[in-house]
Amino acid sequence: MCICINCRHMYMCTTYLIIKEQHLSVKQSPSYTFTPINSLIQISISKSLYYFQQEWDLVECLSFTEKPGNWLV
């Protein structure tokens, strides 16, 4: 699970933008100005009969500042 959803910096984080682009749910915004420190993205690859699927999750970030439910805003 991506820790971004409970981070105070989610709506301005450049790493979160990269993950959103991979999930094809980008709403381009000029407010992505925060560059986090030492982020670790885990990419899970699964194969079905006809295609491969990728799941991108941020699992570690030194800039993480907890704000539970931030994604609900």
The number of distinct structural domains making up the chain is 1
Q: How many alpha carbons fall within 13 Å on the CB side of residue 11? A: 7
Q: Is the pTM here over 0.85, yes or no?
A: no
Structural domain boundaries, residue 17:
3-72
For 39-73, write each residue's pLDDT tens digit: 999 999 999 889 998 899 999 999 999 998 888 87
Q: Say how many residues make up the chain.
A: 73
Q: Please, what is the end-to-end C-alpha distance for the chain in angstroms?
A: 19
**What sign has the CA pseudo-torsion 33, 65, 20, 25?**
negative
